[in-house]
Amino acid sequence: MTTYALDATALGMRYRRGWGLRDCEFQLPTGRISALIGPNGAGKSTLMRLATGLLRPTTGSIRVLGEEPGRHGTHRKLAFLAQDKPLYRGFTVAEMLRAGAVLNPSWDDEYAWRLVREADVPPQAKVGTLSGGQRTRVALAIALGRRPEVVLLDEPLADLDPLAREDVMRTLMAEVADSGMTVVLSSHVIADLDGVCDHLLLLAGGRVRLQGDVEDLLAQHRVLIGSRELVMPDGVVEARTTERQATVIARTGPVPGWEADEPSLEELAMAYLRSARAVAA
Ligand SMILES: Nc1ncnc2c1ncn2[C@@H]1O[C@H](COP(=O)(O)OP(=O)(O)OP(=O)(O)O)[C@@H](O)[C@H]1O
């Protein structure tokens, strides 16, 4: 039986105001980088907090490496970097790393320090004086320094400049290739995920709208351009028309009469996000 990094069945989380996640069924493979995409309020952070055991599901279950989280605290092989990157502001960077070493039996001091050095963060600086991007790099070094099997990163790229984003993605890819670590990361910067993520989970309105291996998903979809008089193909995700021409993204093979191309990850994700928004409106 396959053990997934994350495996959810009928997963739902109801807050006082309403459902944050509802009827979610998904599997994320081990040893890969999975992208978690969705508009604000889609349920991405809720999903991560359920996986860490910080929240308990209202319905269904989520398993991390085959185990239900929360029974014995966060899974020992799981690291989570929350959106607000909680670090002790009064500690220096060096003190944060020392705390990481004391608190984590699987700590790899050399690796954590290498990540901090690569990020050019001054070790004696107090965390509270660092820029948002520098704080992210320190938090990432602490999360990865634990040598987790699965790391959940909630918008790790948000504070980073384009070069730092590239560095972080390269670090994550190297770690996945070298140690077989699993990365699940949420991001609104879809273009940065292209060529990096192997697997996609797209949420909107608390529900799963699209999931699967990225290469398979791209191969299963087409951007079709043709006259607006043409019959629409099956599997339309989104159709946009001008006076003469229609541009369609559809889950389909080649369709006679239409000019067809494979979509980019960004084109595919944007089509699903726009269509989910149109349905909700
Ligand atoms: N503690 C909470 N109490 C009540 N409602 C909450 C709570 N946390 C999240 N929600 C609601 O659950 C839904 C999903 O929120 P969540 O933070 O998981 O989304 P997200 O996809 O991470 O959004 P963003 O991209 O803005 O970070 C939203 O409608 C949000 O208002």
CATH number at residue 60: 3.40.50.300
ipTM field: 0.98
Tokens 């607006």 label which residue? 228
Domain that includes residue 265, residue range: 215-280
Atom of ligand 1 nearest to the CA of 49: 18
Instruction: Specify the pLDDT at position 30.
Output: 96
Residue 186 has pLDDT above 90, yes or no: yes
- 145-164 pLDDT, tens per residue? 999 999 999 998 888 888 88
The encoded tokens of residue 95 equal: 């003190």
Cα of 250 to ligand 1 centre, how many Å? 30
Cα of 44 to ligand 1 centre, how many Å? 8
**What is the residue with the minimal CA distance to atom 8 of ligand 1?**
46
Q: State percent of the chain over pLDDT 70.
A: 98
Residue 222 has pLDDT above 70, yes or no: yes
Residue 46 has pLDDT above 90, yes or no: yes
Mean pLDDT of 46-73: 89
- Highest average pLDDT, of 208-217, 230-239, 256-265, comes from 208-217
pLDDT band at 16 (very low <50, low <70, confident <90, very high): very high
Co-location of 179 and 241 in the same domain: no
* Residue that terminates a domain, selected from 193, 213, 233: 213
Atom of ligand 1 nearest to the CA of 203: 21
Atom of ligand 1 nearest to the CA of 188: 25
CA neighbor of 80 nearest in space, from 162, 182, 170: 182
Domain assignment of residue 87, yes or no = yes
Q: Does the beta carbon of 17 sit less than 6 angstroms from any atom of ligand 1?
A: yes
Co-location of 234 and 195 in the same domain: no
Q: State percent of the chain over pLDDT 90.
A: 73
Q: Could you give the residue ranges of the DSSP H alpha helices within the chain?
A: 44-52, 93-103, 109-118, 132-145, 162-179, 190-193, 214-220, 265-280
Q: Does the beta carbon of 136 sit less than 6 angstroms from any atom of ligand 1?
A: no
* Tally of structural domains, the chain: 2
Beta pairing, strands 150-154 & 199-204: unpaired
* Residue that terminates a domain, selected from 213, 239, 259: 213
Give the chain's mean pLDDT: 92
Residue 73 has pLDDT above 70, yes or no: no
Co-location of 227 and 269 in the same domain: yes
